[in-house]
Amino acid sequence: MSASDISRAAQIKLMIFDVDGILTDGSLHFGPDGEMMKTFNVLDGQGIKLLQQSGIATAIISARKSPIVSKRAADLDIAHLRQGIHDKKAAFLELLAELHIAPAECGFIGDDVIDLPVLSRVGFAASVPNAHPEVKARVHYVTQASGGRGAAREVCDFILKAQGKYEQALAPFLA
């Protein structure tokens, strides 16, 4: 991580997450009735909650639409959920207008080429080690952890540390 990465993360007011390959490992599981199932990581969820408790808004923009993602977003109090979005840039620009936030104040973590239109516009762009090579080449930060295995938490912690909010976020757990 460079001083530039830290400076970029220090500006974040909104962190946006892709789902498949970021909040999950990218695998799609189908039940006998065709119902899609996904596995989420609790560390990632706690990281998202810590961001929110530290005054950083959170959002999801996902190309797929799934009731399980709606449920996970509700569990995590993610108010800004955009699913079934194939034009992620348009959804991103709508979020900016809705929340009155500049692109430089946004972070996004994604893993595939569909995410590039957003990754190229945010102040802090992140990805995972198992992302498409074109994505990894164009982001500011690549996590150590893989998607669905703590990558989102790693980014959340990085942002909190860059903003000097990490110790305060952990304080309730250390009392």
Binding-site residues: 18, 20, 111
**Secondary structure of residue 154 in the 3-state scheme:** helix
Binding residues for substrate: 20
Binding residues for Mg(2+): 18, 111
Q: Output the CA–CA distances (angstroms, integers) from residue 21 to 18, 59, 130, in the order listed.
A: 8, 16, 8
Q: Output the CA–CA distances (angstroms, integers) from residue 110 to 11, 40, 49, 63, 140, in the order listed.
A: 19, 15, 19, 11, 12
The span from the CA of 119 to the CA of 36, in Å, is 27
